[in-house]
């Protein structure tokens, strides 16, 4: 059994696309080949909802929705899924690909796109006014990191194979609710001012179904957004800011 979660994150992948291919695609191929040589009977891949790219506004994204990866990160994740399918068909190596949603919580990786926003807010809680990139009516699916870990454990111990699963909260939450919930958890009364994002367009209207993961694995997130962000607030002041890494 191999559980493959390592990856170069989105911002780093954009800055170094060749390195992203080596880490996010070629390394997966190498691990799959090694699995066949060692006689492993299952491969669990940490994929991403980034494979869907920018979903149509108002759409509910399921595992049968069109693949529209439009970043080096998303393309690397989908190519890894394709390699999993290839090795299943050609070498009889079963797999489960977990399309993880936007993760948050304790030990946030400083290079994660949304993680960087949350950590930046945490760093400025004593300011009277905080500028936040984005618009309050953007919608995302935030999954507490402990839920993702639980899904991985369930996948390892489950008999189902050769499948892709959305591992998400199943709740589309506005950017405004996420920010205000974090500030409330921190006891901050700072004023938020919204400003347009810099750079390329992001998938700002995300609504994912987690029904198949619930049906297949029995996965159901146990930690609410309020509790998850409260855990982040309690953890952050007593731990150093995570180092900036490219993987």
pLDDT, tens only, 68-127: 998 999 999 999 999 999 999 999 999 999 999 999 998 877 777 788 888 888 888 889
48 CB-contact burial (10 Å; exposed 0-12 / middle 13-18 / buried 19+) = buried
- DSSP codes, 48-107: EGGGG-SPPTTPPB-TTSPP---SHHHHHHHHHHHHHHHHHHHH---EEEEEE-EEESTT
Q: Which pLDDT score, from 0 to 100, does residue 200 have?
A: 54
In the chain, the DSSP E strands lie at 2-4, 43-48, 95-100, 102-104, 129-133, 139-140, 142-144, 163-167, 173-174, 191-195
Query: Where do we find the tokens 């309020």?
Result: 226
Q: Which pLDDT score, from 0 to 100, does residue 247 have?
A: 37
244 pLDDT above the threshold of 80: no
CA distance 212 to 42: 20
Q: What pLDDT band is residue 202 in, cutting at 50, 70 and 90?
A: low
Phi-psi region of 44 (alpha: psi -120 to 50; beta: other; left: phi over 0): beta
What pLDDT, in 10s, does the model give residues 143-162?
A: 999 999 999 999 999 988 99
Q: Which pLDDT score, from 0 to 100, does residue 114 have?
A: 82
Q: Which pLDDT score, from 0 to 100, does residue 246 have?
A: 39
Cβ pair 42, 95 in contact under 8 A? yes
Q: Which pLDDT score, from 0 to 100, does residue 144 have?
A: 96
176 pLDDT above the threshold of 80: yes
CA distance 143 to 161: 23
**209 compared with 9, residue with greater pLDDT:** 209
User: Is beta strand 129-133 parallel, antiparallel or unpaired with respect to 2-4?
Assistant: unpaired
Q: Which pLDDT score, from 0 to 100, does residue 231 have?
A: 94
Q: How far does the chain reach from its first CA to its final CA, in angstroms?
A: 22
Q: Which pLDDT score, from 0 to 100, does residue 35 have?
A: 94
Q: What pLDDT band is residue 239 in, cutting at 50, 70 and 90?
A: low
Q: Which pLDDT score, from 0 to 100, does residue 242 have?
A: 54
12 pLDDT above the threshold of 80: yes
139 pLDDT above the threshold of 50: yes
Which residues on adjacent β-strands are paired with residue 173? 140
> 3-state DSSP call for residue 203?
coil
What pLDDT, in 10s, does the model give residues 17-38?
A: 999 999 999 999 999 999 999 9
Q: What pLDDT band is residue 199 in, cutting at 50, 70 and 90?
A: low
CA distance 165 to 212: 7
pTM attached to this predicted model = 0.91
Beta-carbon count within 10 A of 240 CB: 6
226 pLDDT above the threshold of 90: yes
DSSP tag of 208: B
Tokens of 186: 């921190």
């Amino acid at each position: 059994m191999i559980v493959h979660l390592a990856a170069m994150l989105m911002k780093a992948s954009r800055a170094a696309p060749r390195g992203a291919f080596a880490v996010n695609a070629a390394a997966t191929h190498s691990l799959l080949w090694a699995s066949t040589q060692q006689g492993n009977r299952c491969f669990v891949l940490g994929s991403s909802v980034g494979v869907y790219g920018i979903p149509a506004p108002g759409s509910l994204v399921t595992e049968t929705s069109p693949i529209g990866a439009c970043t080096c990160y998303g393309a690397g994740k989908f190519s890894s899924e394709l390699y999993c399918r290839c090795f299943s068909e050609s070498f009889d190596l079963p797999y489960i690909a977990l399309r993880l949603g936007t993760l948050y919580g304790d030990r946030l990786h400083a290079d994660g796109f949304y993680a960087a926003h949350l950590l930046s807010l945490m760093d400025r809680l004593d300011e009277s006014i905080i500028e936040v990139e984005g618009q309050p009516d953007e919608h995302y699916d935030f999954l507490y990191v402990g839920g993702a870990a639980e899904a991985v454990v369930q996948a390892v111990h489950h008999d189902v194979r050769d499948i892709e699963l959305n591992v998400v909260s199943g709740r589309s939450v506005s950017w405004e609710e996420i920010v205000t919930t974090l500030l409330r958890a921190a006891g901050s009364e700072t004023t938020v001012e919204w400003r347009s994002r810099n750079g390329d367009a992001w998938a700002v209207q995300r609504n994912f179904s987690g029904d198949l993961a619930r049906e297949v694995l029995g996965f159901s997130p146990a930690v609410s957004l309020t509790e998850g962000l409260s855990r982040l607030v309690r953890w952050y002041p007593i731990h150093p800011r995570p180092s900036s890494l490219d993987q």
